[in-house]
Structure 1
Amino acid sequence: MLVRDLISDRKLLNTTMWVLLVGVALFGNAPLFVVIYWAFALFMVLRAAQGQFPRKIKTTIVLAYLLLAVLQSIFAANAVDAPHINLLTALFSRIFAAAFILLPLAVERIVIVSKRTDFYLPSVRAMATISFEQLQANKQLISRSLQGVGKIKQTLSTDNLKETFEDLHRHSSVKYINDGSLTDDYFELVAQSLADPYIYLVISNTGSSASEIISLFTQKQYNHASLSFDADLKTIISYNGGEKVYPPGLNAEMVEAFHKKDDASVLVYRLPTTRAQKKLISDQVRAINTTGSAYNLLGLVTKHSYRPNIMFCSQFVYRMLKVAKLDYFDKPAGDVRPTDFIELDYYKKLDFCYEIKF
């Protein structure tokens, strides 16, 4: 009875979780994280067991919780106690490990909470009157939910987690680590494109490990935004990881590098602009390139930049539009997601140009 009351008391659960997250983020080590992952997995299994859902759904959820605990433990063993170049990257590893404690709750929300009304078993009377169309609709809902669990399993694979977190030490959210990655040849191409009366917004679904993990929380297919001064994307730039060639921050991009999975795709839109407005953006990009930049990894969670040129991709694109007074929706730059550029275009400022499929 005590366990049931604890599981059902959401307020107590939330308070306990926040205290736990802060504590382990500051002082946790790999063994402690492993114990917490498995304890929380057991807690979520008990929680799922009390739900009024079909046995197949319960079984799938329980297996998902156990798989997550295995993957979380692998991450903790390989990242939390691994050698770090400074205390900041060590703290970031613990912060991410603490955030991963909440992954079972994300599974619950995706598979159960968001579809709770669809998964309750009907009464005998309701079953007698239920239509064939309703049965088909419920079958499709369950099928999509099971596919969602499969996507979580694929996204949180050992290879994806290892690739993502082996890259953490290259980032900094407090100092500039990238400067001069854009060459004089690049800015010559920009100058040649100023006569083009458009600036181009590129929204992409690259399939990178980091992008796939982000998509679990945003529930969006497209999770990267870039800016180009020309329609052929010869001048495409964004804030990114530098493809392990340049430090994370403001870098030129190659469309070919977006092809990291079979169904990767790129959407290209254009926004009418004047030569003077494009010149303002060009000058701002040059200033960032000269002063320095870094990828705002921590800002993905905190929505705050420690220094002006520390940004993430959609934050950068929005700020560049705002510099030239081309912004067409109002939102704090730290809250802007790549899909906002399309979804919040209420006044139809953008023109769709083309889609690239690989």
Structure 2
Amino acid sequence: MKELYILLTDTGTTLNRTIKLVTNAPYNHASISLDEKLNHVFSFGRKQPINPLYGGFIQEDFVDGTFSWYPDTTCAIYKLSVSEREYEKVFQLISEFEKHKHSYRYNFFGLFGVPLNYPIEIPFSYFCSQFVADLLKQSGIKLFNKRSSLVSPDDFRKINRLELIYEGRIYDYPALQIEYKPREYDRFPFRKYIVQQLKSVIVDENKNDEREYFFRDGFIKPKKIMFDRKMKTITTLLRKVDQ
């Protein structure tokens, strides 16, 4: 027998909190791992941590990926015992996904179909739990009596065949062996970013000794881009006045 691992997580992102309002579930993202140490974890999610709208097939990265931007992410990890043949089939299918990863997109529309019990399936598109359920189904591991496009992350918690082995903060998981401390960040740093830019661009204050503020959420980044453009305009005008 071999083991697969189902990882359910809650990052606390804006998108995650929005989904939570509908599902009322503790975890709203699902991934599948080929090993207990979570060295090979796959799902459909953000390709860039700061952009929630750019999604597709991903290998979860605990050092520089989305989880590193959300160090307080909570999780539940379940063990699934399968035959060697089933495990090998899962491995082969994931390899095919990796070969053609640029062809896959995130099935945002499919998310709306789950609470309505109406399957919305788009070619080469999955949302996280749909991907995990369909991957297992294609490998001969049938956990659900419904279409994969109607499976939510919370549905995995109700499967008796899955054994819960850990629940808590993801970076406290004992088997997660990485030499990395999650980066520190401010939850809403936009105001501090503005102050920092005013000091450096208009007042011309040296900011080398100050902290650089980053944006952890893609919904804030458009504001940053807009502000950057305005700052360039202001700077250009000030230079013209000086001349």
Give the deviation of 1:284 after TM superposition.
1.3
Does 2:97 correspond to 1:276?
A: no
- State the one-letter code of the partner of 1:320: L
Instruction: Report the RMSD for the aligned CA atoms in angstroms.
Output: 2.2
- State the one-letter code of the partner of 1:293: Y
- State the one-letter code of the partner of 1:202: L
- State the one-letter code of the partner of 2:45: N
- State the one-letter code of the partner of 1:272: S
Partner of 2:150: 335
- State the one-letter code of the partner of 1:304: I
Match runs of 1:225-240 below 5 Å: 225-240=30-45
> Out of 40, 43, 55, which is 1:248 matched to?
55
Using a 3 Å threshold, how does the CA distance of structure 1 residues 217 and 259 change in structure 2: closer, same or farther? Answer: farther
> Out of 198, 204, 224, which is 2:9 matched to?
204
Match runs of 1:70-149 below 5 Å: none
- Counterpart CA distance in 2 for 1:317 and 1:277 is 14
Structure 1 residues 216-264: Cα deviation after superposition (integer angstroms, max 9, x where no partner)? 1111121000000000000011000112599521101124643655753
- State the one-letter code of the partner of 1:253: E
Partner of 1:293: 104
- State the one-letter code of the partner of 2:32: L
What is the aligned length? 159
> Out of 105, 114, 131, which is 1:316 matched to?
131
- State the one-letter code of the partner of 1:326: I
Contact 2:5 2:35 in 1 (8 A): yes
Larger radius of gyration: 1
Partner SS, residue 232 of structure 1: coil
Q: Which has the higher helix share?
A: 1
Give the deviation of 1:338 after TM superposition.
0.1
Structure 1 residues 83-114: Cα deviation after superposition (integer angstroms, max 9, x where no partner)? xxxxxxxxxxxxxxxxxxxxxxxxxxxxxxxx
- Counterpart CA distance in 2 for 1:243 and 1:203 is 19
Structure 1 residues 303-355: Cα deviation after superposition (integer angstroms, max 9, x where no partner)? 31220x20000000000110122222212111111010112x1xx21111222
Partner of 2:189: none
- Counterpart CA distance in 1 for 2:40 and 2:27 is 21
- Counterpart CA distance in 1 for 2:88 and 2:26 is 32
Please identify runs of 4+ aligned residues in structure 1 that moved more than 4 A: 244-247, 259-263
- State the one-letter code of the partner of 1:250: F
> Which gives a bigger RCO, structure 1 or 2 (Cα 8 Å, sep 6+)?
2
- Counterpart CA distance in 1 for 2:48 and 2:18 is 17
Contact 2:133 2:143 in 1 (8 A): no
Gaps of 5+ in 1: 1-195
Partner of 1:305: 121
Report percent identity of matched pairs: 26
Partner of 1:224: 29
Give the deviation of 1:276 after TM superposition.
1.5
Structure 1 residues 248-285: Cα deviation after superposition (integer angstroms, max 9, x where no partner)? 21101124643655753111111001222111112112
TM-score, length of structure 1 as denominator length: 0.41
Gaps of 5+ in 2: 114-118, 172-243
Partner SS, residue 216 of structure 1: helix
Q: Which has the higher strand share?
A: 2
